[in-house]
Amino acid sequence: MNDAHRPVILYVENDANDVILLRITFEKIDFPAQIIPVPDGEKAQAYLDGLGAFEDRHQYPRPDLVLMDLKMPRVSGFEVTRWIRAHPALDALPIVILTSSEHPEDRAAALAAGANGFCIKPVGLDELEGLVREISQQWLHLVPHG
């Protein structure tokens, strides 16, 4: 157990590149958040339930924020969102959709499914940095040092 609780972000994303870029960006802004990636919706559900490999809550702690991609094979981001919201123990868990889709219908559908936020993945590290700062401020109440 850590004294200072590091915020845990569960990043549900099937694209490995996006995961790396996000991690690097978080490191660059020197936020203490711990990024735990899961590659698809089923694994996300298993993680949140603490099933199978994810039983070890020490290694796999409960997240403070879920960043969710929409377009994933088999189980989509919408479904996971709905599932989380229907989950009795998880209803307070903030979910921010992080997708490359600029379809206004997707934004409306995601928010209707129960997501708290909807962000579009930008091209460019600077833009990504700005987005990450915004998300951390809003949902993790992290204030950047300097």
Partner 1 sequence: MATMFSIEWRGFVEFGLLLLYVLLGGFTVVFFFKKSRQAKGRLRVMESELASLKQEVANSRMLEAEFRRKQVEDRAFFYDNPYPMWVFEEQGFKFMAVNDAALHHYGYSREEFLEMTILDIGPPEESPTTLDFRQWLQDETVATRVCRQHKKDGTLMDVKMTAHKLNFQGNPAWLILALDVTAEYRARQALLRQKERFQLLSESAADLLFALEPPAVIEKICLKITAHTQSDLFLNFLSQDGENKVMLHSWAGLPEELARRLTQHPLPIDELLCHAAVCQCQPLIIEDMQSYPDPKAESLRNLGIRAYICLPLHPNGRLLGTLAFGSRTQKAFGEDELELFSSLSRYLAIALDRWHLLKEAREQSAQLQTAQEQLQRYTGELEVRVAERTAKLAQSLRSLEGVLYHVAHDLRAPLRALHGFTELLIRNCSPLPTEATADYARRLTEASKRMDRLIHDLLLYGRLGHQQLVLDSIDLGNILNDVLHEWRATIQAKKAIIQVSQPLPRVTGDGQVIRQVLYNLLSNALKFVARPPAIRVWAEAGYPTRLYMEDNGIGIAAEHQNKIFGIFERLHSEEEFPGTGIGLAIVKKGMERMGGNVKVESEVGRGSRFCLEFNSAY
Q: Catalog residues that contact partner 1 under the rule CB under 8 A.
A: 15, 17-18, 21, 24, 71, 100-104, 121-125, 128
Could you tell me if 136 and 31 are in contact, meaning their C-beta atoms sit under 8 angstroms apart? yes
Could you tell me the smallest distance in angstroms from the CB atom of residue 129 to partner 1?
11
Per-residue tokens: 76: 């989509």
Pairing of strands 34-38, 8-12: parallel
Of 15 and 49, CB closest to partner 1: 15
Could you tell me the smallest distance in angstroms from the CB atom of residue 139 to partner 1?
22
What is the rounded distance in angstroms from the CA atom of residue 75 to the CA atom of residue 59? Answer: 24
Of 62 and 103, CB closest to partner 1: 103
What is the rounded distance in angstroms from the CA atom of residue 63 to the CA atom of residue 65? Answer: 5
Could you tell me the smallest distance in angstroms from the CB atom of residue 17 to partner 1?
4
